[in-house]
Amino acid sequence: MKYTSTRNNAVSVDAAKAISQGISEDGGLFVPMSFPQISLDDIKKMSEMSYIERAKKVLSLYLTDFTEEEISYCVNGAYKEGKFDSEKVAPVVPFNDEAYILELFKGPTCAFKDMALQLLPYLLTVSAKKTVDGKEIIILVATSGDTGKAALEGFKDVEKTKILVFYPSDGVSPMQKLQMTTQEGSNVSVCAIEGNFDDAQSGVKKIFTDKEIGAKLKENNMQFSSANSINWGRLVPQVVYYISAYCDLIADGRIVAGEKINIVVPTGNFGNILAAYYAKQMGLPVNKFICASNANNVLTDFITTGEYNKNREFFTTTSPSMDILISSNLERLLYHLTGSDDKAVAEMMGKLNNDGKYTVSEEVLNALKADFDAGCCSDDEVSATIAKSFKEKNYLPDTHTSVAIKVYEDYVERTGDDTVTVIAATANPYKFSKAVLGAVEADYVCSDEFETVDELSRVSGVKCPEQLANLKGKEPRFTGVCKKPEMTEVVFKMLGI
Ligand SMILES: *Cc1c(COP(=O)(O)O)cnc(C)c1O
C-alpha cells in the first residue's frame, strides 16, 4: 500500500514515511492510493474476534510495510488489558429500537482521541526506526481540548520523542485544562495560546512547514511530526472501531451480516467521520453518514450547498472540541470525491487560504450527498437532549455526543429513515460537568469544578472516572500563555535549542 498527497499525485510513500512525516511537503495530506477490501466473510469472522484481533486485521491491510510482529507489538501495547475501562475497548450499547451508542471514551483521558493516540506513539516510533533513524521526533499539537491530553498521555516518557501542546486559552473546559496543565512526564510541554482553536492549528501548521525552523531542528538531530488528525497514523486506528461496532452488532444479533447501517458522528476536524468513510470504502455496509455540528455549522452548510465558507462568526459552545471552522480532514474526502484530482484539491485549498471559501462542482456535491447527510444544533438543544436522554433512556451523554443524538433525531424526523444506526459517543460526561449538570439540574449553581463533579455524580448516579476524579487538588505544572506570533520562540524554548 502506497500513500500519495492530496495536492500532488506524483508523491508515493510507504505508511511509515507518511506517519513519521505527518504532512506532505506540498502542504497536502497523505491518503492511501487504493482502498483495501474486506469481504462479508471477513466481517463475519471478525465478529468472533476481540478488539485487538480486529485492529490487527485492519491495520495489516494499510500498514503493508510493517511486519506482522511490528503490528502485533503496536496493537497489543495500545489496547492491552487495563488501559481501557471496558474489555471491549469500544463497547456498543443500545439507545433505542434502532440506535446504538458506540462508546469511544473508555480510555485513559476519557475522550475518543485515546482510541488513536494510545496507538500512534507505537506506530510513530516503529515508523521512525524505518525512516528517520536516530532522529528525535518532536510532536507538535494544536488542540481543541481532547487531542492535547490524549497525545500527552500517549507520548509521555516515550523514548526519543518530545511532545509540545498548544491549546486556546479560553476554548477548553476546566477539566480539559486541568488534565493538560497537570500532565506528568519528562518529555512534555504545554502552553496556552491567546485565540481560538483555528489560531492554534494554523500556527502549528505554519511552524511545521517553515523551512528555516525545519533546518534548525535538523541541526539538532530532531524532526517534527504531528499527532493531529492530519496524521495518517491517527486516522487508521479509527477505521477499526467502526468495523468493530458492526461486528458487535452482528455478534449480538442486532443485524445480519450485509445489512446497511447509518453512522452519526459529532464532527469538528472531520477525522472521526472520515475514518467511517474509509471503513465504507473497504466494504463495510453503510447507508448514510450523518455529520453532526454545533453552532459552528460550516460543515452542515457545506454538505447542504456545496459551498465551504469559513467567513462567519465563531461561536464558543458547550461542545468545545467541535468549535472549529477549518475542518482539515475534509481535504482528504475532497480528494476521493473528485476522483483523486490533486490539482482541483490544491486549487480549493488555495481558495480557502486566500478567500476563506470554495465551492465544489455539481458532480462532487452529488457524490457528497449520496453518502452524507448533515445537521447542527444549538447549546440549548444540546442541554435539552442531555436532560431528555437521561430522563427517558437513563443514559447520560456528554455535550458532543448530545449534538450527535439531537442531529440524529432531527434526521429521523425529517426522513423517516429507520435504518439501524450507530451514534459515536466521543467523551465522558465528566469532562464537561458544568454543562451536563446544568442540563439535568438547571437551578444548581456551583463555582468549583469538583463540587460540580460531586453534584453531577449525586443526581445522576453515574460515577466519575478515577482518572478525572484524581485531578482534584493537583497543582498545575504548565501555566504559560503566549500570543500566536510568539509560538515559534516558545517551541525553541521548550526544545532547548
Ligand atoms: C475531537 C472531538 C470531536 C471531533 O472529532 P473530529 O475527528 O475532529 O471530527 C468530537 N467530540 C469530542 C469529544 C472530541 O474530542
Q: What letter represents residue 51's amino acid? A: Y
Question: How does the average pLDDT of the chain come out, rounded?
Answer: 95
Question: What gap in Å lies between CA 396 and CA 386, rounded to an integer?
Answer: 6
Closest residue to atom 15 of ligand 1, CA basis? 146
Question: What gap in Å lies between CA 197 and CA 168, rounded to an integer?
Answer: 6
Pairwise pLDDT comparison (334 vs 323), residue with the higher score: 334
Of ligand 1's atoms, which has the minimum distance to the CA of residue 113? 15
Of ligand 1's atoms, which has the minimum distance to the CA of residue 269? 8
Whether 113 sits among the annotated catalytic residues: the reply is: yes
Residues lining ligand 1, Cβ inside 6 A: 111-113, 146, 229, 266-272, 321-322, 400, 426-427
Structural domain of residue 295, as residue ranges? 92-109+233-431
Question: What gap in Å lies between CA 140 and CA 193, rounded to an integer?
Answer: 14
What's the pLDDT score for residue 129?
A: 87
State the distance from the centre of ligand 1 to the C-alpha of 183, rounded, in angstroms: 21
What's the pLDDT score for residue 4?
A: 98
| CATH number of the domain residue 283 falls in | 3.40.50.1100
State the distance from the centre of ligand 1 to the C-alpha of 355, rounded, in angstroms: 26
Does any domain span residue 409? yes
State the distance from the centre of ligand 1 to the C-alpha of 322, rounded, in angstroms: 6
Does any domain span residue 464? no
Does any domain span residue 347? yes
Average pLDDT over residues 174-198: 94
Q: Which of 102, 112, 115, 167 to mutate to test the pocket of ligand 1 (most atoms within 8 A of CB)?
A: 112
What's the pLDDT score for residue 134?
A: 77
Catalytic residue among 56, 57, 106, 113: 113
State the distance from the centre of ligand 1 to the C-alpha of 272, rounded, in angstroms: 7
What's the pLDDT score for residue 225?
A: 86
Q: What is the CA radius of gyration of the chain?
A: 21
Residues 119, 237: contact at Cβ < 8 Å?
yes
Question: What gap in Å lies between CA 389 and CA 411, rounded to an integer?
Answer: 17
Number of independent structural domains in the chain: 1
State the distance from the centre of ligand 1 to the C-alpha of 216, rounded, in angstroms: 33
Local confidence band at 23 (pLDDT 50, 70, 90 cut-offs): confident
C-alpha cell at 103: 462508546
Of ligand 1's atoms, which has the minimum distance to the CA of residue 398? 13
pTM to 2 decimals? 0.95
Going 183 to 465 to 90 to 416, the CA torsion angle's sign is: negative
Quick check: 131 pLDDT over 90?
no
Does any domain span residue 73? no
Does any domain span residue 176? no
Q: What is the DSSP string of 167-194?
A: EETTSS-HHHHHHHHT---TTEEEEEES
Q: What letter represents residue 45's amino acid? A: K
Average pLDDT over residues 334-340: 98
Closest residue to atom 14 of ligand 1, CA basis? 321
Q: Catalogue the E-assigned strands of 52-155.
A: 92-94, 99-103, 136-142
What's the pLDDT score for residue 171?
A: 83
Of ligand 1's atoms, which has the minimum distance to the CA of residue 270? 9
Does any domain span residue 246? yes
Length, in residues, of the chain: 497
Quick check: 338 pLDDT over 90?
yes
Average pLDDT over residues 355-365: 98
Does any domain span residue 96? yes
Local confidence band at 208 (pLDDT 50, 70, 90 cut-offs): confident
What's the pLDDT score for residue 271?
A: 96
Q: What is the pLDDT of residues 211-230, one digit of tens each?
A: 999 999 999 999 998 888 88
Quick check: 133 pLDDT over 80?
no
Does any domain span residue 168? no
Burial of 39 (0-12, 13-18, 19+ CB in 10 A): exposed
Q: What is the pLDDT of residues 27-85, one digit of tens each?
A: 899 999 999 999 999 999 999 999 999 999 999 999 999 999 999 999 999 999 999 99
Local confidence band at 445 (pLDDT 50, 70, 90 cut-offs): confident
Of ligand 1's atoms, which has the minimum distance to the CA of residue 271? 7
The winner for highest mean pLDDT among 122-136, 147-161, 218-232 is: 147-161
Quick check: 9 pLDDT over 80?
yes
Residues 74, 112: contact at Cβ < 8 Å?
no
Calculate the dihedral angle through the C-alpha atoms of 429, 431, 434, 440, rounding to the nearest 10 degrees.
0
What's the pLDDT score for residue 198?
A: 83
State the distance from the centre of ligand 1 to the C-alpha of 273, rounded, in angstroms: 9
Q: What is the pLDDT of residues 372-416, one digit of tens each?
A: 999 999 999 999 999 999 999 999 999 999 999 999 999 999 999
